[in-house]
Amino acid sequence: MGLPFPPAGERFERLEETLRLAFRMWDGDESPFEGAHYRLEHPIGNPRPARRPKVLIGGAGERKTLRLVARYADACNVFDVPDGGRTVRHKLAVLARHCDDVGRPYGEIEKTISTRLSPGESAASFAHRCAEFGAWGIEHAVVISAGPWSVAGVGTLGRAAALLD
């Protein structure tokens, strides 16, 4: 598409600057902003939102991504790694340490997970997996699909949700 795609380190720097700038603008701060990548003499966010928009940061990088979550995000999204929860629990423990480092209550951050409904997976099996996520500290599952959802797949999700109620 011809768009610049800088190295990962620079993309993280730009994300953090964007978050810092957005928070200032949402608070009505129109003072000059001088970052390494963005410079605005008079940043204006008008009209201001009725309430600050929620920020979700997805990913599980321990040094950068989860540190940004601890500092700026209202929610994080980690990935469903099929290892009985070992990776997810570890990533959430890292997030909790980053929260301690920045003086933020870990409980303020909503924890979500991206998972897939496996082909032919039963509603009971999927509901059981979601219940396991809850035991790991996950509050919401984001169910992704490689292609369009089928009527059967949506039906399975509906039946699984009913089992979790």
List pLDDT tens digits, range 88-147: 999 999 999 999 999 999 999 999 999 999 888 999 999 999 999 999 999 999 999 888
Q: What is the pLDDT of residues 18-64, one digit of tens each?
A: 999 999 999 999 999 999 999 999 998 888 899 999 999 999 999 99
- Output b/e per residue, 25-34; b: 16+ Cβ within 10 A: beeeeeeebe
Domains of the chain, with CATH numbers? 1-53 (no CATH), 54-164 (3.40.50)
pTM of the predicted model as reported, rounded to 2 decimal places: 0.90
Judging by DSSP bridges, how do beta strands 140-144 and 110-116 pair with one another? parallel
Half-sphere exposure of 102 (CA within 13 A, CB side): 17
Report angle CA 68, 91, 163 to the nearest 5 degrees. Answer: 110
Give residue 165's pLDDT.
Answer: 79
47's tokens: 């009209």
pLDDT level of residue 84 (50, 70, 90 thresholds): very high
Give residue 119's pLDDT.
Answer: 87
Give residue 128's pLDDT.
Answer: 96
- Which of 35, 34, 99 has the alpha carbon at shortest distance from 72? 99
Judging by DSSP bridges, how do beta strands 33-34 and 39-40 pair with one another? antiparallel
Q: Is the C-alpha dihedral spanning 144, 149, 151, 152 positive or negative? A: negative
CB 131 within 8 A of CB 115: no
